[in-house]
A = this chain, B = another copy of it.
Amino acid sequence: MKRIGYIGLGIMGRPMAENLIKAGFELVVYNRTPAKTEPLIALGAAVASSPAELAGRVDAVCVNVTDTPDVEAVLFGERGVAQAEADKLNGLVVIDHSTIDPDATRRLAARLTELNVALLDAPVSGGDIGARNGTLSVMVGGERGAFDRCAAVLAAVGQTITHCGPSGAGQATKACNQVLVSTALLGVCEALALAQAEGLDLDTTIKVTSGGAAGSWQLAHLGPKIARRDFDPGFMVDLLNKDLNIVAHAAADHELPMAATALVAQLLREAAQHGRGRDGTQALATVIERRGGFEFGHD
């Protein structure tokens, strides 16, 4: 594979596309807002006027948009990938780095198979920092053959590339990841709320508890931000809410009760309702504050 298309040059897509150029791939880019293609053009990327035109010019199409309907539009909407000429589509691989519904992914993959296009679901974790540094973890679902053919493309954007299983397995793994992230975050918020109520120094509490069985990435990285009420994003509440909607849908499909995940989803929705949607996920702490009648870092 040599020519790669990139659709969706947002906070994640742009640095990932840049890493593909650095790795020596020829890039063709498309973005709904054309201005966002300019930094890539400056690095040597060509630009396409539509996903369909882009698909006709490349060996693989990377997609990095927000939600399930966005991926559907890129693939099957007007001037979408599926509208490229049939012989151009034959053998194409779509690598979808968006975080979307596992079940929808399987349906999209089935539709693409009819066009002789393989779909790899390949959501990532590691945030915008991981995207810039190429240290993302990429969770891939889809046919093993397509995965193997895209190994160099995936290696250019991530550090840990894992084939998780058939189509949808990457998205399902990402859904599990977001369950872990959000429930651990809620635990951190409640633990620090108790610490503050007990008059403890929050930084000391975080330090003491981080080293053992209570330790987590969320505690070590977001705990100190909560302690100083720093709600700058990292990863935005709105995006975690979107991901937890995906989880809720999957859980409903399986009739799986997920009481803690449902709870944190409700609280994160409350955060968004109170204007914290574009803050970092640690702004979940503001919901705990309001419900508890206190502010972190104040007596």
Contact = CB atoms under 8 A, between A and B. Distances in A.
Given A176-B194, A197-B256, A216-B180, A137 B208 contact: yes
Interface stretch (A43-51, A107-115, A217-225): A217-225
B190 A179 contact: yes
A235 B213 CA distance: 10
Given A164-B205, A184-B187, A177 B214 contact: yes
A12 B291 CA distance: 38
A169 to B, nearest CB: 6
A298 interface: no
B198 A179 contact: no
Contacts of A255: 293
Contacts of A102: 198
A177 B212 contact: yes
A263 interface: yes
Contacts of A41: none
Interface stretch (A20-28, A77-85, A246-254): A246-254
A192 interface: yes
Interface in A133-184: 137, 139, 160, 162, 164-165, 168-169, 172-173, 175-184
A200 B139 CA distance: 12
Q: Which of A125, A139, A175, A209 has the most CB of B within 10 A?
A: A209
B256 A205 contact: no
Contact of A193 (B164, B198, B256, B263): B256
B181 A213 contact: yes
B180 A191 contact: yes
A207 interface: yes
A127 B211 CA distance: 13
A138 to B, nearest CB: 9
A275 interface: no
Contact of A208 (B139, B198, B204, B217): B139
Interface string A253-283: 0111111110110010000000000000000
Contact of A200 (B176, B184, B247, B251): B176
A264 to B, nearest CB: 7
A215 to B, nearest CB: 5
A258 B190 contact: yes
Interface of A: 102, 125-127, 130, 137, 139, 160, 162, 164-165, 168-169, 172-173, 175-184, 186-188, 190-195, 197-201, 204-205, 207-209, 211-219, 221, 235, 247, 250-251, 254-261, 263-264, 267, 291-293
20 contacts: A125-B213, A127-B213, A137-B212, A164-B200, A164-B205, A165-B199, A173-B200, A175-B194, A176-B192, A178-B214, A180-B187, A180-B188, A180-B219, A183-B191, A183-B260, A194-B247, A213-B218, A215-B217, A259-B263, A260-B263
